[in-house]
Amino acid sequence: MPQKLRLVLIGNGMAGVRTLEELLKIAPDLYEITVFGAEPHPNYNRILLSPVLAGEQTLEQIILNPLEWYAAHGIRLHLGAWVTNVNRAGQRVRAETADGQVIEARYDRLLIATGSTPFIPPLPGRELEGVISYRDIADTEAMIEAARTHRHAVVIGGGLLGLEAANGLKLRGMKVTVVHLAPWLLDRQLDPQAARLLQRSLESRGLNFRVHTQTEALLAGEGEAASRVRAVRFKDGSEVPADLVVMAAGIRPNTALAESMGLLCRRGIVVSDTLQTVTDPRIYAVGECAAHRGIAYGLVAPLFEQGRVCATHLAEVGLGRYVGSEVSTKLKVTGIDLFSAGDFMGGEGSEDIVLSDPFDGVYKKLVLRGDRLVGACLYGDTADGSWYFRLIRECRSVAAFRDQLMFGEAALPALPQGGPAAVATDAQVALAA
Protein backbone atom coordinates (compact mmCIF):
# COMPACT_ATOMS: atom_id res chain seq x y z
CA MET A 1 0.00 0.00 0.00
CA PRO A 2 1.49 3.40 -0.95
CA GLN A 3 2.34 5.73 1.89
CA LYS A 4 -0.30 8.37 2.58
CA LEU A 5 0.38 12.03 1.99
CA ARG A 6 0.51 14.28 5.05
CA LEU A 7 -1.99 17.14 5.44
CA VAL A 8 -1.74 19.62 8.29
CA LEU A 9 -4.59 21.99 9.14
CA ILE A 10 -3.78 25.09 11.18
CA GLY A 11 -7.03 26.30 12.71
CA ASN A 12 -9.82 24.10 14.08
CA GLY A 13 -12.73 26.40 13.21
CA MET A 14 -15.74 26.10 10.93
CA ALA A 15 -14.06 26.85 7.60
CA GLY A 16 -11.08 24.54 8.02
CA VAL A 17 -12.98 21.58 9.43
CA ARG A 18 -15.70 21.93 6.78
CA THR A 19 -12.91 21.61 4.19
CA LEU A 20 -11.79 18.39 5.87
CA GLU A 21 -15.36 17.07 5.83
CA GLU A 22 -15.59 17.71 2.09
CA LEU A 23 -12.17 16.15 1.51
CA LEU A 24 -13.08 13.00 3.43
CA LYS A 25 -16.15 12.55 1.22
CA ILE A 26 -14.00 12.62 -1.93
CA ALA A 27 -10.72 11.01 -0.85
CA PRO A 28 -11.05 9.47 2.63
CA ASP A 29 -7.77 7.54 2.45
CA LEU A 30 -5.45 9.99 0.69
CA TYR A 31 -3.99 11.77 3.72
CA GLU A 32 -2.72 11.37 7.23
CA ILE A 33 -4.35 14.46 8.77
CA THR A 34 -3.07 16.53 11.68
CA VAL A 35 -5.06 19.45 13.10
CA PHE A 36 -3.77 22.21 15.38
CA GLY A 37 -6.38 24.22 17.27
CA ALA A 38 -5.49 27.12 19.56
CA GLU A 39 -8.65 26.74 21.65
CA PRO A 40 -9.07 23.80 24.05
CA HIS A 41 -12.35 22.81 22.38
CA PRO A 42 -13.27 20.68 19.38
CA ASN A 43 -14.85 22.41 16.39
CA TYR A 44 -17.97 24.35 17.41
CA ASN A 45 -20.54 26.60 15.79
CA ARG A 46 -19.27 30.10 16.50
CA ILE A 47 -22.55 31.52 15.19
CA LEU A 48 -24.35 30.05 18.20
CA LEU A 49 -22.24 31.77 20.85
CA SER A 50 -24.97 34.41 21.14
CA PRO A 51 -27.65 31.88 22.23
CA VAL A 52 -25.13 30.50 24.74
CA LEU A 53 -24.60 33.99 26.15
CA ALA A 54 -28.36 34.50 26.30
CA GLY A 55 -28.78 31.24 28.22
CA GLU A 56 -30.75 29.59 25.41
CA GLN A 57 -28.14 26.91 24.61
CA THR A 58 -25.16 25.26 26.30
CA LEU A 59 -21.61 24.98 25.07
CA GLU A 60 -22.08 21.23 24.61
CA GLN A 61 -25.00 21.85 22.27
CA ILE A 62 -22.97 23.96 19.83
CA ILE A 63 -20.18 21.43 19.26
CA LEU A 64 -20.13 20.50 15.56
CA ASN A 65 -17.46 17.80 15.55
CA PRO A 66 -16.93 16.02 18.88
CA LEU A 67 -13.65 14.34 19.72
CA GLU A 68 -15.07 11.03 18.55
CA TRP A 69 -15.40 12.41 15.01
CA TYR A 70 -11.67 13.14 14.79
CA ALA A 71 -10.83 9.71 16.18
CA ALA A 72 -13.21 7.94 13.78
CA HIS A 73 -11.43 9.53 10.80
CA GLY A 74 -7.93 8.93 12.13
CA ILE A 75 -7.25 12.64 12.56
CA ARG A 76 -4.47 13.57 14.96
CA LEU A 77 -5.89 16.53 16.92
CA HIS A 78 -3.83 18.91 19.05
CA LEU A 79 -6.04 21.25 21.10
CA GLY A 80 -4.74 24.27 22.99
CA ALA A 81 -1.72 24.28 20.68
CA TRP A 82 -0.51 27.54 19.12
CA VAL A 83 1.46 27.18 15.90
CA THR A 84 4.52 29.35 16.36
CA ASN A 85 6.56 28.54 13.27
CA VAL A 86 6.22 26.96 9.83
CA ASN A 87 9.41 25.97 8.01
CA ARG A 88 8.32 26.05 4.36
CA ALA A 89 11.62 24.68 3.06
CA GLY A 90 11.49 21.71 5.42
CA GLN A 91 7.67 21.47 5.27
CA ARG A 92 7.44 21.33 9.04
CA VAL A 93 4.98 22.90 11.51
CA ARG A 94 5.96 23.72 15.08
CA ALA A 95 3.44 24.41 17.86
CA GLU A 96 3.49 25.01 21.60
CA THR A 97 0.94 24.34 24.31
CA ALA A 98 0.21 26.49 27.35
CA ASP A 99 2.39 24.25 29.54
CA GLY A 100 5.37 24.61 27.20
CA GLN A 101 5.07 21.32 25.33
CA VAL A 102 6.48 21.51 21.79
CA ILE A 103 4.71 19.60 19.00
CA GLU A 104 6.02 19.22 15.46
CA ALA A 105 4.41 17.79 12.33
CA ARG A 106 5.60 17.32 8.75
CA TYR A 107 3.34 18.13 5.80
CA ASP A 108 3.03 17.55 2.07
CA ARG A 109 0.07 19.92 1.93
CA LEU A 110 -0.72 22.66 4.44
CA LEU A 111 -4.14 24.24 4.96
CA ILE A 112 -4.28 27.54 6.86
CA ALA A 113 -7.62 28.48 8.41
CA THR A 114 -6.63 30.85 11.18
CA GLY A 115 -9.79 32.95 10.89
CA SER A 116 -9.85 36.50 12.14
CA THR A 117 -9.00 38.54 15.20
CA PRO A 118 -11.17 41.19 16.88
CA PHE A 119 -10.35 44.79 16.15
CA ILE A 120 -9.68 46.58 19.44
CA PRO A 121 -9.86 50.36 18.99
CA PRO A 122 -6.71 52.06 20.36
CA LEU A 123 -8.54 53.68 23.26
CA PRO A 124 -6.89 54.74 26.51
CA GLY A 125 -7.83 52.17 29.14
CA ARG A 126 -8.31 49.25 26.77
CA GLU A 127 -5.94 47.16 28.92
CA LEU A 128 -8.16 47.45 32.03
CA GLU A 129 -9.75 44.44 33.64
CA GLY A 130 -13.32 44.03 32.44
CA VAL A 131 -12.53 45.07 28.84
CA ILE A 132 -12.93 42.09 26.53
CA SER A 133 -13.63 41.19 22.91
CA TYR A 134 -16.39 38.84 21.78
CA ARG A 135 -15.05 36.13 19.54
CA ASP A 136 -14.85 32.72 21.17
CA ILE A 137 -15.99 30.47 24.00
CA ALA A 138 -13.58 32.05 26.49
CA ASP A 139 -15.01 35.52 25.79
CA THR A 140 -18.55 34.19 26.19
CA GLU A 141 -17.72 32.56 29.52
CA ALA A 142 -16.07 35.77 30.72
CA MET A 143 -19.24 37.76 29.94
CA ILE A 144 -21.46 35.21 31.69
CA GLU A 145 -19.24 35.40 34.77
CA ALA A 146 -19.17 39.23 34.74
CA ALA A 147 -22.97 39.36 34.56
CA ARG A 148 -23.18 37.40 37.82
CA THR A 149 -21.37 40.06 39.83
CA HIS A 150 -21.61 43.34 37.91
CA ARG A 151 -24.41 45.66 36.87
CA HIS A 152 -23.39 48.01 34.03
CA ALA A 153 -22.19 46.92 30.58
CA VAL A 154 -21.19 48.93 27.51
CA VAL A 155 -20.91 47.31 24.10
CA ILE A 156 -18.79 49.23 21.60
CA GLY A 157 -20.09 48.39 18.14
CA GLY A 158 -23.65 48.31 16.83
CA GLY A 159 -23.16 45.56 14.28
CA LEU A 160 -24.76 42.16 14.58
CA LEU A 161 -22.27 40.76 17.05
CA GLY A 162 -22.55 43.83 19.28
CA LEU A 163 -26.35 43.71 19.30
CA GLU A 164 -26.37 40.00 20.11
CA ALA A 165 -23.88 40.58 22.94
CA ALA A 166 -26.00 43.43 24.28
CA ASN A 167 -29.14 41.32 24.17
CA GLY A 168 -27.47 38.40 25.94
CA LEU A 169 -26.11 40.61 28.72
CA LYS A 170 -29.51 42.27 29.13
CA LEU A 171 -31.15 38.86 29.52
CA ARG A 172 -28.58 38.07 32.21
CA GLY A 173 -29.68 41.12 34.19
CA MET A 174 -27.20 43.80 33.19
CA LYS A 175 -28.03 47.37 32.23
CA VAL A 176 -26.57 47.68 28.74
CA THR A 177 -25.60 50.63 26.54
CA VAL A 178 -24.61 50.08 22.91
CA VAL A 179 -22.21 52.66 21.43
CA HIS A 180 -22.01 52.90 17.64
CA LEU A 181 -19.83 55.28 15.66
CA ALA A 182 -21.91 55.18 12.45
CA PRO A 183 -25.16 57.16 12.06
CA TRP A 184 -27.35 54.03 12.31
CA LEU A 185 -27.20 50.46 13.61
CA LEU A 186 -26.15 47.60 11.31
CA ASP A 187 -25.02 50.19 8.77
CA ARG A 188 -23.59 47.46 6.50
CA GLN A 189 -26.81 45.43 6.47
CA LEU A 190 -29.66 47.95 6.79
CA ASP A 191 -30.69 51.32 5.42
CA PRO A 192 -31.48 54.15 7.88
CA GLN A 193 -35.25 53.55 8.01
CA ALA A 194 -34.95 49.83 8.76
CA ALA A 195 -32.27 50.61 11.34
CA ARG A 196 -34.57 53.10 13.11
CA LEU A 197 -37.28 50.45 13.37
CA LEU A 198 -34.76 48.02 14.80
CA GLN A 199 -33.45 50.52 17.35
CA ARG A 200 -36.96 51.39 18.55
CA SER A 201 -37.78 47.74 19.00
CA LEU A 202 -34.59 47.07 20.95
CA GLU A 203 -35.11 50.16 23.10
CA SER A 204 -38.57 48.86 24.01
CA ARG A 205 -36.81 45.77 25.36
CA GLY A 206 -34.62 47.83 27.68
CA LEU A 207 -31.44 48.39 25.69
CA ASN A 208 -29.86 51.86 25.58
CA PHE A 209 -28.09 53.34 22.57
CA ARG A 210 -25.52 56.03 21.83
CA VAL A 211 -25.53 56.13 18.01
CA HIS A 212 -23.22 58.34 15.93
CA THR A 213 -21.09 58.65 19.05
CA GLN A 214 -17.32 58.45 19.33
CA THR A 215 -15.71 56.85 22.37
CA GLU A 216 -12.78 58.79 23.80
CA ALA A 217 -11.49 56.68 26.70
CA LEU A 218 -12.20 53.87 29.13
CA LEU A 219 -11.88 55.08 32.72
CA ALA A 220 -10.45 53.13 35.62
CA GLY A 221 -11.89 52.83 39.10
CA GLU A 222 -10.25 54.11 42.26
CA GLY A 223 -8.50 52.50 45.20
CA GLU A 224 -8.77 48.72 45.18
CA ALA A 225 -10.77 48.91 41.93
CA ALA A 226 -8.08 50.90 40.09
CA SER A 227 -7.29 48.00 37.77
CA ARG A 228 -10.88 47.59 36.56
CA VAL A 229 -12.91 49.69 34.15
CA ARG A 230 -15.61 51.85 35.78
CA ALA A 231 -16.93 54.08 32.97
CA VAL A 232 -16.77 54.99 29.28
CA ARG A 233 -16.17 58.61 28.30
CA PHE A 234 -17.28 59.99 24.94
CA LYS A 235 -15.87 62.69 22.70
CA ASP A 236 -18.52 65.17 23.89
CA GLY A 237 -17.34 64.73 27.50
CA SER A 238 -20.31 62.69 28.71
CA GLU A 239 -19.85 59.34 30.49
CA VAL A 240 -21.78 56.16 31.20
CA PRO A 241 -20.92 53.68 33.97
CA ALA A 242 -19.34 50.40 32.85
CA ASP A 243 -18.20 47.41 34.90
CA LEU A 244 -17.84 45.48 31.65
CA VAL A 245 -16.88 46.79 28.20
CA VAL A 246 -17.33 44.47 25.22
CA MET A 247 -15.40 45.38 22.08
CA ALA A 248 -17.43 44.39 19.01
CA ALA A 249 -16.07 46.94 16.55
CA GLY A 250 -15.12 44.56 13.76
CA ILE A 251 -12.57 41.91 12.81
CA ARG A 252 -9.34 41.63 10.85
CA PRO A 253 -7.96 38.59 8.96
CA ASN A 254 -5.54 36.71 11.19
CA THR A 255 -2.44 36.72 9.01
CA ALA A 256 0.36 37.00 11.59
CA LEU A 257 1.57 33.42 11.09
CA ALA A 258 1.26 33.64 7.31
CA GLU A 259 3.30 36.83 7.23
CA SER A 260 6.01 35.23 9.36
CA MET A 261 6.13 32.42 6.78
CA GLY A 262 6.71 34.88 3.95
CA LEU A 263 3.29 34.38 2.33
CA LEU A 264 1.86 37.33 0.42
CA CYS A 265 -0.83 39.00 2.53
CA ARG A 266 -3.02 41.88 1.35
CA ARG A 267 -6.32 42.16 3.22
CA GLY A 268 -5.72 38.51 4.06
CA ILE A 269 -3.61 35.64 2.74
CA VAL A 270 -3.74 36.06 -1.03
CA VAL A 271 -5.14 32.94 -2.72
CA SER A 272 -6.00 31.92 -6.28
CA ASP A 273 -9.26 30.43 -7.58
CA THR A 274 -8.03 27.03 -6.36
CA LEU A 275 -7.54 28.45 -2.83
CA GLN A 276 -3.80 27.88 -3.12
CA THR A 277 -1.66 30.67 -1.78
CA VAL A 278 -0.05 32.59 -4.63
CA THR A 279 3.29 32.29 -2.82
CA ASP A 280 3.46 28.51 -2.29
CA PRO A 281 1.25 26.03 -4.21
CA ARG A 282 1.64 23.43 -1.46
CA ILE A 283 -0.13 25.76 0.96
CA TYR A 284 -3.86 26.53 0.85
CA ALA A 285 -5.94 29.01 2.84
CA VAL A 286 -9.69 29.20 3.45
CA GLY A 287 -12.02 31.25 5.61
CA GLU A 288 -11.77 34.70 7.06
CA CYS A 289 -7.96 34.71 6.85
CA ALA A 290 -7.98 34.29 3.06
CA ALA A 291 -8.20 37.10 0.50
CA HIS A 292 -9.62 36.05 -2.85
CA ARG A 293 -9.57 38.64 -5.61
CA GLY A 294 -9.05 41.29 -2.94
CA ILE A 295 -11.98 40.19 -0.74
CA ALA A 296 -11.87 38.51 2.67
CA TYR A 297 -15.32 37.08 3.34
CA GLY A 298 -16.82 37.05 6.82
CA LEU A 299 -20.04 35.16 6.10
CA VAL A 300 -20.25 31.43 6.58
CA ALA A 301 -21.79 30.61 3.18
CA PRO A 302 -18.79 31.87 1.12
CA LEU A 303 -16.38 30.13 3.49
CA PHE A 304 -18.14 26.82 2.97
CA GLU A 305 -18.06 27.39 -0.80
CA GLN A 306 -14.31 27.89 -0.50
CA GLY A 307 -14.05 24.67 1.49
CA ARG A 308 -15.80 22.63 -1.20
CA VAL A 309 -13.49 23.94 -3.93
CA CYS A 310 -10.36 23.58 -1.84
CA ALA A 311 -11.25 19.97 -1.02
CA THR A 312 -11.34 19.00 -4.71
CA HIS A 313 -7.81 20.24 -5.19
CA LEU A 314 -6.49 18.67 -2.01
CA ALA A 315 -8.12 15.44 -3.25
CA GLU A 316 -6.12 15.85 -6.49
CA VAL A 317 -9.18 15.84 -8.71
CA GLY A 318 -8.97 19.58 -9.31
CA LEU A 319 -12.50 20.08 -10.59
CA GLY A 320 -13.48 23.28 -8.83
CA ARG A 321 -12.77 26.95 -9.20
CA TYR A 322 -13.81 29.50 -6.63
CA VAL A 323 -14.74 32.69 -8.46
CA GLY A 324 -16.13 34.65 -5.52
CA SER A 325 -19.53 34.77 -3.87
CA GLU A 326 -22.67 36.79 -4.31
CA VAL A 327 -23.63 37.44 -0.72
CA SER A 328 -26.85 38.20 1.04
CA THR A 329 -27.49 38.50 4.73
CA LYS A 330 -30.44 36.89 6.45
CA LEU A 331 -30.36 37.64 10.14
CA LYS A 332 -32.42 37.19 13.24
CA VAL A 333 -31.47 39.89 15.72
CA THR A 334 -33.00 39.10 19.11
CA GLY A 335 -36.02 37.57 17.40
CA ILE A 336 -36.41 40.23 14.69
CA ASP A 337 -36.05 39.03 11.08
CA LEU A 338 -33.82 41.08 8.76
CA PHE A 339 -32.62 40.55 5.21
CA SER A 340 -30.48 42.51 2.78
CA ALA A 341 -28.78 41.82 -0.52
CA GLY A 342 -27.15 43.70 -3.36
CA ASP A 343 -27.16 47.49 -3.62
CA PHE A 344 -29.97 48.08 -1.10
CA MET A 345 -28.97 51.70 -0.49
CA GLY A 346 -29.75 52.70 -4.09
CA GLY A 347 -28.89 56.19 -5.27
CA GLU A 348 -28.45 57.97 -8.58
CA GLY A 349 -29.76 55.96 -11.53
CA SER A 350 -31.89 53.67 -9.38
CA GLU A 351 -35.53 53.59 -8.32
CA ASP A 352 -36.88 52.53 -4.93
CA ILE A 353 -40.11 50.66 -4.25
CA VAL A 354 -40.94 50.94 -0.55
CA LEU A 355 -43.56 49.39 1.70
CA SER A 356 -43.55 50.71 5.25
CA ASP A 357 -45.89 49.56 8.04
CA PRO A 358 -44.37 50.71 11.35
CA PHE A 359 -47.46 49.61 13.29
CA ASP A 360 -46.95 45.96 12.33
CA GLY A 361 -43.16 46.31 12.26
CA VAL A 362 -42.74 45.61 8.53
CA TYR A 363 -40.50 47.49 6.12
CA LYS A 364 -39.56 46.47 2.59
CA LYS A 365 -37.35 48.34 0.15
CA LEU A 366 -36.57 47.09 -3.34
CA VAL A 367 -34.03 48.90 -5.52
CA LEU A 368 -34.26 48.68 -9.31
CA ARG A 369 -32.16 49.88 -12.20
CA GLY A 370 -34.15 49.74 -15.36
CA ASP A 371 -36.00 46.44 -15.37
CA ARG A 372 -33.66 44.63 -13.02
CA LEU A 373 -33.72 44.23 -9.25
CA VAL A 374 -30.34 45.22 -7.85
CA GLY A 375 -30.98 45.43 -4.10
CA ALA A 376 -33.39 44.53 -1.31
CA CYS A 377 -33.71 45.47 2.37
CA LEU A 378 -36.39 43.72 4.44
CA TYR A 379 -37.35 44.19 8.08
CA GLY A 380 -39.89 42.08 9.96
CA ASP A 381 -41.04 40.02 6.95
CA THR A 382 -38.21 38.26 5.14
CA ALA A 383 -40.14 35.37 3.59
CA ASP A 384 -39.27 36.44 0.04
CA GLY A 385 -35.63 37.23 0.71
CA SER A 386 -34.32 34.13 -1.09
CA TRP A 387 -36.42 34.91 -4.16
CA TYR A 388 -35.27 38.51 -4.30
CA PHE A 389 -31.68 37.35 -3.93
CA ARG A 390 -32.12 34.94 -6.82
CA LEU A 391 -33.47 37.74 -9.02
CA ILE A 392 -30.51 39.94 -8.10
CA ARG A 393 -27.95 37.20 -8.66
CA GLU A 394 -29.39 36.08 -12.00
CA CYS A 395 -29.91 39.65 -13.30
CA ARG A 396 -33.37 38.66 -14.49
CA SER A 397 -35.72 41.21 -16.00
CA VAL A 398 -38.69 41.97 -13.75
CA ALA A 399 -40.56 44.03 -16.37
CA ALA A 400 -43.37 41.47 -16.71
CA PHE A 401 -44.20 41.54 -12.99
CA ARG A 402 -42.76 44.82 -11.79
CA ASP A 403 -46.08 45.99 -10.28
CA GLN A 404 -46.39 42.76 -8.28
CA LEU A 405 -42.73 42.55 -7.23
CA MET A 406 -43.35 43.87 -3.72
CA PHE A 407 -45.90 41.13 -3.00
CA GLY A 408 -43.43 38.30 -3.40
CA GLU A 409 -43.03 35.10 -5.36
CA ALA A 410 -46.32 33.58 -4.15
CA ALA A 411 -48.23 36.28 -6.01
CA LEU A 412 -46.69 35.11 -9.28
CA PRO A 413 -47.54 31.40 -9.66
CA ALA A 414 -46.87 31.42 -13.41
CA LEU A 415 -43.18 32.26 -13.00
CA PRO A 416 -40.58 29.48 -13.34
CA GLN A 417 -39.72 28.17 -9.90
CA GLY A 418 -36.02 28.03 -9.08
CA GLY A 419 -34.33 26.40 -6.17
CA PRO A 420 -33.89 28.39 -2.99
CA ALA A 421 -30.99 30.78 -3.10
CA ALA A 422 -28.21 30.21 -0.64
CA VAL A 423 -28.24 32.89 2.00
CA ALA A 424 -26.23 33.50 5.13
CA THR A 425 -28.34 32.76 8.19
CA ASP A 426 -28.53 33.82 11.82
CA ALA A 427 -25.41 35.56 13.15
CA GLN A 428 -23.01 34.80 10.33
CA VAL A 429 -21.69 38.46 10.02
CA ALA A 430 -20.55 38.36 13.59
CA LEU A 431 -17.55 36.51 12.52
CA ALA A 432 -17.12 39.60 10.64
CA ALA A 433 -18.76 42.00 12.73
pLDDT tens digits for range 392-403: 999 999 999 999
What CATH homologous superfamily does 5-117+251-314 map to? FAD/NAD(P)-binding domain (3.50.50.60)
Q: Where are the domains of the chain?
A: 5-117+251-314, 131-247, 328-431
pLDDT for 416 beyond 70:
no
CATH of domain 328-431: 3.30.390.30
Check for a shared fold between 5-117+251-314 and 328-431.
no
What's the confidence (pLDDT) of residue 430? 34
What's the confidence (pLDDT) of residue 174? 97
Confidence label for 1 from pLDDT (cuts 50, 70 and 90) = low
| Fold held by 131-247 | FAD/NAD(P)-binding domain (3.50.50)
The per-residue pLDDT for range 189-240, each reduced to its tens digit, is 999 999 999 999 999 999 999 999 999 999 999 998 899 999 999 999 999 9
Count of C-beta atoms within a 10 Å radius of residue 422? 18
CA dist., res. 151 & res. 174, Å (int): 5
Which alpha helices (H) appear in 73-191, and where do they start and end? 137-149, 160-171
What's the confidence (pLDDT) of residue 358? 86
CA dist., res. 295 & res. 270, Å (int): 9
Average pLDDT over residues 167-182: 96
What's the confidence (pLDDT) of residue 414? 55
Count of C-beta atoms within a 10 Å radius of residue 145? 11
Over the chain, what is the mean pLDDT?
92
Paired sense of beta strands 102-106 and 92-97, if any: antiparallel
234 burial (CB, 10 Å; 0-12 / 13-18 / 19+) is middle
Average pLDDT over residues 125-149: 96
pLDDT for 319 beyond 60:
yes
The per-residue pLDDT for range 263-304, each reduced to its tens digit, is 999 999 999 999 999 999 999 999 999 999 999 998 888 999
What's the confidence (pLDDT) of residue 50? 92
Count of C-beta atoms within a 10 Å radius of residue 343? 14
